[in-house]
Structure 1
Amino acid sequence: MQFPRVLSVLSLFFAFAFIFASASPVAETEVSVAKRQEAEVVTILTTLHTQTLADAAAIQAAALLNPSEDSISPLFDTLVAHINEATTAINALEPSAKRQSSDDIAALVALIFTDLTTTLDGLLVQLSGVPNIGVLFSGLDVALNQLLKGLEGLLAGVLNLVATLLVNVAALLRNLALGLTLASLGL
């Protein structure tokens, strides 16, 4: 007599236990994490591109107006600060265990480097009379190198893609004495 009651209670228990067990939240998949992370990197780099274009334009304008260390140095400091901010933001992201497609990111990094080096290379003659211009370019080199290292730590293989895209810009990087950046890219 007790058996049917026990059986019905047990079947009810297992039915509700199954519902609660299957209603557990689904963990975010690696693919969605990777896509979100890639979107964050693109946002960071797009902001950096906008900032570096403005910084390079400001350096170009100052170089055309009788450049001096007092006028050029703060502009380089701002440029380096923007690159360092982007590097810090990229380093704050968690690397994904799954390798991500980084073609778009590599193209964006190559665009940033191309725009920046093209503008600055065109100013070498005007900036040659500025005392300590080598120190300013050295600081820029260190900042760009740290950005590349941060990207490589986050997206394995991205430097190879960037290097491939920057083969034609390697001469400009050499002209600007950006040796650390060249070494990181293997150019």
Structure 2
Amino acid sequence: FRVLFFFVAASPVADSEAALVARQEADIISILTLTRAQAILDATAIQLLAANPLTTEEEATAAFGKLTDTINSATTQIAAIQPVGTTKRQSSDDVAVLVAGLITDVTTLLDGVLGQLAGIPTIGGLFGGLDAALNQLLKGLEGLLAGVLNLVAQLLVNVADLLRKLALGLTLGSLGL
């Protein structure tokens, strides 16, 4: 009887923790999905600005600032999510695919922008700010989901050269690429 009572009493806790884990993952996926959509819009705006030879430093700075703010906002939202239990849980493939997609989309859209905006003295710093924002997002995710960086790195092997080309060294370092 005591053993049966123990299992019955422990079951709601396990169910409750499982529900919290599922909700946490759903929150992360929602944040990343919205961030990816907005980042694509922001990177497309940068791409369009870069195609215009009359783009000013102020315009480029504002556009990169918007993209960086989008990523920083996701980092802040993810940091507000409380870990479930006392240890990090294993990453989900869905989260890794979303993060890899976000990085792939942004870097693919920005391919060529560095050269097109080479006349803007602060272009290196603008890419540096983007790199720092992506790196912080990755670190925040790793803090919640053990192993997410390994999964993302595996998905980004083919994009590593593009990350190098865009001088996104912090992001490369976090991913071990």
TM-score by length of 1: 0.83
* Alpha-carbon displacement from aligned partner over 1:22-63 (angstroms, at most 9, x marks no partner): 9xxx55522111110000000000010011011011101111
Instruction: Return the match for 1:127 from 117, 132, 135.
Output: 117
Cα distance in structure 2, aligned partners of 1:102 and 1:54: 26
2:114 and 2:123 in contact (8 A); partners too: no
Indicate the residue corresponding to 2:65 in structure 1. 77
Q: How is 1:48-127 mapped onto 2 (pairs within 5 angstroms)? A: 48-66=35-53, 67-96=55-84, 97=87, 99-127=89-117
**Structural mapping, 1:148-187, within 5 Å:** 148-187=138-177
**SS of corresponding position for 1:162:** helix
Cα displacement (A) at 1:98: 6.1
Superposed CA deviations along residues 58-80 of structure 1, whole A, max 9, x for unmatched, are 10111111232111100000111
TM-score normalised by the chain length of structure 2:
0.88
Give the C-alpha shift of residue 177 in structure 1. 0.6
* Aligned-partner SS, 1:130: coil
- How many residue pairs get aligned? The number is 164
**Matched position secondary structure for 1:29:** helix
Q: Which consecutive residues of structure 1, in runs of 5 or more, have no partner in the other structure?
A: 1-21
Structure 1 residue 128: Cα displacement: 1.4
Higher-Rg member (1/2): 1
Letter in 2 for 1:132: T
Identity rate of aligned residues, in percent? 60
Shift of 1:101: 4.5
2:21 — aligned with what?
A: 34
CA contact (8 A) 1:34 1:100 kept: no
